[in-house]
A and B are shown apart, each in its own frame.
Chain A
């Protein structure tokens, strides 16, 4: 069984379009994350949700809006796509570990977004 799944795996779209990437985890975790990996393979966190509440929001353009309908899902909606949004987007999930520290984060397979 897939632990953290993302759909779609590949997404090719035109500038200016609006698109969504879905993420689901079946691990029973209470915290979910979105990361962006750029063309140089640099990974950076975008958002983090704990029990459906936003707890980390890095300096991401407000064209990016995460939505968590329940603890098992964290979707990423992107408005008015730009060329610079082309990247691989990874979803991850974890428990909150002992003492509030993050437990191991489990990553999805990634969604490769290409904006033309």
Chain B
């Protein structure tokens, strides 16, 4: 079975400081992993995805994530937070063997202080 655990429900950072949103996954086979962002009252936007190519994945808006199979982690980072990064972030796993359905983590709310 596949599952995702986002280790922090809320993260608060100051503008200009690094962002780290943590995600651990569980999968039986070879997962695809995604990070989506949801701004208040908006839909979901893909930040980045890992699908068995390079383990360090770069996404939009300066975000990146590293797939670490030995740690079953896919943490999301950004060197310098911007006020516009304040949103909810979802780590997502998908596997071909489970019909490619997306399984979402519970989400991490990122707050950026000025």
Contacts and interface: CB of A to CB of B under 8 A. Distances in A.
Interface of A: 31, 33, 35, 40-45, 48, 55-56, 58, 90, 92, 96-97, 99-102, 104-110
6 contacts: A40-B106, A90-B43, A92-B44, A104-B49, A105-B102, A107-B45
Nearest to B46: A104
B54 interface: no
Contacts of B96: 99-102
B88 to A, nearest CB: 6
A92 B107 CA distance: 18
B56 to A, nearest CB: 18
Contacts of B44: 43, 90, 92, 107
Nearest to A46: B101
Contact of A101 (B46, B51, B107): B51
Contacts of A109: 42-43
B104 A42 contact: yes
Contacts of A35: 102
Contacts of A90: 43-44
